[in-house]
Amino acid sequence: MRKPQLDLLRAFAVFLVMGRHLPVLLENWPQPIPLLMSGWKQVGWIGVDLFFVLSGFLISGLLFNEYAETGSFDLFRFLVRRGFKIYPSYYVFLVLALPAIAWFPGAITPYSFACDALFISNYFVPIWPHTWSLCVEEHFYFLLSLSFFIVTRRKESFKFFIPGCFFMLVLPLVLRLILISHIPFHDKPHHSATALRLDGLTFGVILSYYYFHHKQALTDWVKRFSLLLVPLGFVLIAPCSIWGSAPWFLYSFGYTALYVGWGLILLVAMSYEMQLKNPILKLIAKIGTYSYSIYLWHKPFDVLCMLPSNWWPGHLDANARLLVYFFGSLTVGIFMSKTIEWPMLHIRDKLFPGVTANVSQKVS
């Protein structure tokens, strides 16, 4: 049983990211519409951090569920199931999306393709800059599953798992502070290095642990203070939204505030049962189910729509190119979900069935 609030959060995250990568802004529209679009582009990058918290929460929920159901953890099955989810859509994207950037001189090289294909583009020069977040998540999946496998081999060792997670909240912050004191801010490595961004994903793991093991007490507490937690979450998110992450304080402590803010909003969302009756909300939640493929495919349309008007049949103006960007990203993303991602998940579940999910939602 899917939780619609999670799909709404996924949709919100992917729409934020699409706003960040707007190829052009609206032309000849009355205020405040162009101003709102500009603001969307300014704040959209924080959608990735929402994805991080969601990923940590949902993926670790699978681990906690399997351990509770079986008393053990099958590392091989977990990695194979993750592979079926991530790799087919990703590698099809890497190949089929190449024509969209071929017009850009020097963008496609064996080196840059290898950086994307090997999930190291968050450290080196890729073809597609948005793949950095997928690299961080991929590295996190391996680190989390291996750590979980090790600590569950000896049951008495499991008590060190959550303290270790709290340590992983502190370590990236300390590393960010050290790095920013020596090197001026730049996307690589400050914004995209795995070691500096694992805390957002780890915070999702901690939330998942307490949600899984102390659900009633946690949800009762969240419901009691939800009218305070939601505004507090947005207050924590606001500084990075407004000023970005380059200032040293926001780059270091701002990332921490960002994932805590998203985590509070996630907790509130998970503490209530939701049935969507509004058709618009239903549509948005449905889009959230396609968020992975939409995230992959929005960037090629961003690149294409940056081409000047005279490159387009009919000399499309900025407004028309924005329409192409949104319609193309959503349409192709949904199509690729239905033709690649979901069929591969169906094959996966036949070949490597997962432990029955009773956490909160079946997580693919």
pTM (2 decimals)?
0.94
- The pLDDT, as a whole number, for residue 51 is 97
- The pLDDT, as a whole number, for residue 357 is 44
- The pLDDT, as a whole number, for residue 362 is 42
Residues 6+ apart with CB under 8 A from 86: 134, 138
Residue-wise pLDDT tens digits, 163-217:
999 999 999 999 999 999 999 888 888 999 999 999 999 999 999 999 999 999 9
- The pLDDT, as a whole number, for residue 273 is 87
Closest CA to 12 of 40, 37, 39, 32: 40
Mapped onto helix, strand or coil, the DSSP state of residue 276 is coil
Token pair 């495919």 in the structure block, residue = 297
Weakly modelled stretches of the chain, pLDDT under 50: 357-364
- The pLDDT, as a whole number, for residue 361 is 42
- The pLDDT, as a whole number, for residue 98 is 94
- The pLDDT, as a whole number, for residue 134 is 97
- Written as one string, the DSSP assignment of 156-225 is GGGGGHHHHHHHHHHHHHHHHHHHHTTS---IIIIIT-HHHHHHHHHHHHHHHHHHHHSHHHHHHHHHHH
Closest CA to 361 of 263, 288, 294: 288
Burial 199-216 (b: 16+ CB within 10 A, else e): bbbbbbbbbbbebbeeee
Residue 118 amino acid letter: L
- The pLDDT, as a whole number, for residue 177 is 95
